[in-house]
Amino acid sequence: MRRRALRSEAGFTLLEVLVAFTILCVAVIAVIQGFAQGLRLLRAAGDQQMAVLIADQKAREVIIPVEGREGGNEGGFDWERTISVVSAPDLTRTPASAKWHVFQIDVTVRWGEKRRLEVVTLRTSAEKAPPGGVPK
C-alpha cells in the first residue's frame, strides 16, 4: 500500500510531460502566426490609407481643370492623373450654361506588385483653362 502511495506522488511520467509540451508548442505557434497575420494586415491597411491620401491630394491639386494626363512617384507609390471632359447635354440648352464644362478627374495609385487604387471625381468649371496643363 505504501509503495502505491509513493508511486502516485512521484510526479509526471515522461509521456505526460511530452504530451503537455507538444500541446504548449502548438498553442505558442498558433499565437505567433496570429500576431504575424495581424502585422501583415496592419501594414496592408497602412499602405491602403497612404494610397487614398495621395489620390485625394492629387485630385484636390487641380484648381482649373484642363484635359490631359500626368503622373509621378511619391514614396514608393506611383500615381497617374487623367482629366477629361464629360459630355453634359443639359449644359448646352441656354447660352448662360453653355460656358460651363464638367470634367472627370481620375487618379490611379499603384504600389507593390499588384496593388492599385482608383479615385474618380467630377468638377465643373466655367473658366477658360490656360494652355499647358494644370496649374500648380
Residue 55 near residue 79 (C-beta atoms within 8 A): yes
Cell triple for 72: 509621378
What's this model's pTM, rounded to 2 decimal places?
A: 0.69
Q: How far apart are CA 132 and CA 4, in angstroms?
A: 98
Q: What is the pLDDT of residues 82-110, one digit of tens each?
A: 999 988 887 777 777 778 889 999 999 99
For range 15-41, the mean pLDDT: 94
Considering the chain, what is the average pLDDT of its residues? 86
Q: Which of 106, 89, 107 is nearest to 98 (CA)?
A: 89
Q: How far apart are CA 130 and CA 123, in angstroms?
A: 16
Q: What is the pLDDT of residue 71?
A: 96
Compute φ and ψ for 132, nearest 5 degrees.
Answer: 105, 5
Q: What is the pLDDT of residue 4?
A: 59
Q: How many CB atoms lie within 10 A of CB 36?
A: 10
Compute φ and ψ for 11, nearest 5 degrees.
Answer: 125, -160
